[in-house]
């Protein structure tokens, strides 16, 4: 009997992810036209709300045509409400800069260090908690990761390395290979965790070269995806998730609770069920990080807790994400 290789789920005819990245929609008017809302220019601010639009066309194809309330569209379309100044909403809601201990190196929690691997994303989510982050000075991948690797080597308490951003999978696989070569000399780092939205919004990124690198890592591998709605999953995303599992990764998902997008028990239950079908386990449901420009997405704590209670009554426990808030200076995420 012939056994399929771990990467046989990937078609050699798949489009190059870098070309698809470059072809992303960056003009709000073009996005409206693509989803059948070309006459609804009233939906968008004239200046893009100070945070650029970027969304891959494959993700746009999953949006409901002609629906201004589509939950995928609302995650990426600039809105006038982003200009509102709301008390309690700041530029650095989670205390990233206070936890910085080197170039792109954040050390918030015991045993874990986070690298700002890249400042680039394939999609710009309007609720992004790092939409004001100074990426220009804070990229850990600079200089072949030397500063980050030196800090990791000097602190034997760190057993898990988290790659974040931006999106770490925006980096070329050769850049990730540079990092893993350096990690080989640091035996106390036993696990790598990659926080990425690319397998969801641009699943073509999970290509042969990346899978070969991931499978070769002599570390425990955890990939934390970011999806907020069941409609974000399609056959391409399912296939990317299967490839990641084939390469030895444990797949988790973290979502953000967002007003008008997933603030309903049915929507959250559908998301958990759809993730399980793709081989992804729910991890966190984050309360919105209170970053300037995002207040219109906020769901109150009492409403959020009630939603989770409804989910617990409907779903098996393993499909109920943990509702948390991140507070700068805390030693862990704060359960609600």
Using CB atoms within 10 A of its CB, is residue 263 exposed (0-12), middle (13-18) or buried (19+)?
A: middle
CATH number at residue 284: 3.20.20.70
pLDDT value of position 76: 97
Classify residue 293: in a domain, yes or no.
yes
Last residue of a domain, one of 25, 59, 83: 83
**Number of domains forming the structure of the chain:** 2
In this structure, is residue 90 part of a structural domain?
no
Question: Measured between alpha carbons, how far is 297 from 71 in angstroms, rounded to an integer?
Answer: 12
Q: Are residues 68 and 135 in the same domain?
A: no
pTM of structure = 0.93
Q: Are residues 77 and 163 in the same domain?
A: no
For residues 60 and 113, state if they share a domain: no
pLDDT of residue 141: 84
Report yes or no on 88 lying in a domain.
no
Answer yes or no: is 67 within a domain.
yes
User: pLDDT value at position 100?
Assistant: 76
Parent domain of 179? 96-335
User: Is residue 125 located within the same domain as residue 77?
Assistant: no
241 assigned to a ligand binding site: no
Query: What is the CA angle 296-297-301, rounded to 5?
Result: 110
**In a shared domain, residues 118 and 45:** no
Q: How far is CA 241 from CA 62, 141, 208, 221, 229, in A?
A: 17, 25, 14, 13, 16
CA distances from 334 to 160, 287, 326 (A): 20, 10, 6
Residues 6+ away with beta carbon under 8 Å from 22 = none
How does strand 105-106 pair with strand 100-102? antiparallel
Which one, of 87, 71, 104, lies nearest residue 261 by Cα? 71
* Same domain? 320 vs 171: yes
Per-residue pLDDT at 13 = 60
Report the largest interatomic distance among the alpha carbons of the chain, rounded to a whole angstrom: 65
Give the three-state DSSP class for 67.
coil
Asked if 43 and 108 sit in the same domain, the reply is no
pLDDT < 70: residue spans in the chain: 1-14, 48, 135-136
**296 in a domain, yes or no?**
yes
In a domain, 317, yes or no: yes
One-character DSSP codes across 7-53: TTTS-TTSPPHHHHHHT-B--HHHHHHHTT-TT-GGGS-TTGGGS--
**Rounded CA gap, 60 and 212, in Å?**
29
Grouping H, G, I as helix, E, B as strand and the rest as coil, residue 296 is: helix
């Amino acid at each position: 009997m012939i056994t399929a290789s771990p990467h046989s789920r990937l078609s050699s005819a798949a489009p190059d992810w870098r070309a698809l990245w470059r072809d992303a929609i960056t003009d709000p008017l073009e996005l409206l036209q693509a989803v059948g809302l070309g006459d609804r220019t009233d939906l968008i601010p004239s200046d893009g709300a100070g945070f650029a639009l970027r969304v891959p066309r494959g993700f746009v194809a999953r949006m409901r045509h002609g629906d201004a309330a589509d939950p995928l569209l609302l995650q990426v379309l600039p809105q006038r409400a982003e200009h509102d100044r709301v008390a309690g909403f700041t530029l650095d809601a989670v205390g990233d800069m206070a936890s910085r201990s080197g170039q792109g190196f954040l050390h918030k929690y015991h045993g874990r260090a986070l690298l700002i691997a890249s400042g680039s994303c394939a999609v710009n989510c309007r609720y992004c908690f790092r939409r004001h982050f100074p990426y220009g000075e804070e990229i850990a991948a600079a200089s072949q990761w030397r500063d980050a690797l030196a800090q990791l080597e000097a602190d034997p308490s760190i057993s898990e390395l988290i790659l974040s951003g931006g999106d770490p999978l925006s980096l070329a696989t050769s850049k990730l290979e540079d990092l893993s070569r350096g990690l080989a000399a640091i035996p106390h780092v036993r696990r790598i965790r990659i926080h990425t939205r690319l397998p969801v919004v641009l699943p073509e990124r999970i290509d042969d070269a990346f899978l070969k690198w991931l499978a070769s890592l002599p570390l425990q591998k955890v990939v934390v995806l970011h999806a907020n709605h069941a409609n974000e999953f399609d056959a391409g995303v399912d296939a990317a998730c299967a490839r990641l599992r084939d390469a030895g990764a444990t797949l988790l998902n973290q979502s953000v609770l967002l007003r008008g997008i997933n603030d309903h028990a049915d929507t959250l239950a559908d998301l958990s069920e759809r993730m399980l079908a793709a081989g992804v386990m729910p991890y966190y449901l984050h309360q919105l990080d209170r970053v300037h420009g995002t207040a219109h997405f906020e769901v109150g704590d009492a409403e959020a807790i009630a939603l989770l209670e409804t989910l617990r009554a409907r779903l098996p426990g393993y499909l109920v994400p943990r509702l948390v808030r991140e507070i700068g200076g805390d030693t862990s995420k704060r359960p609600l």
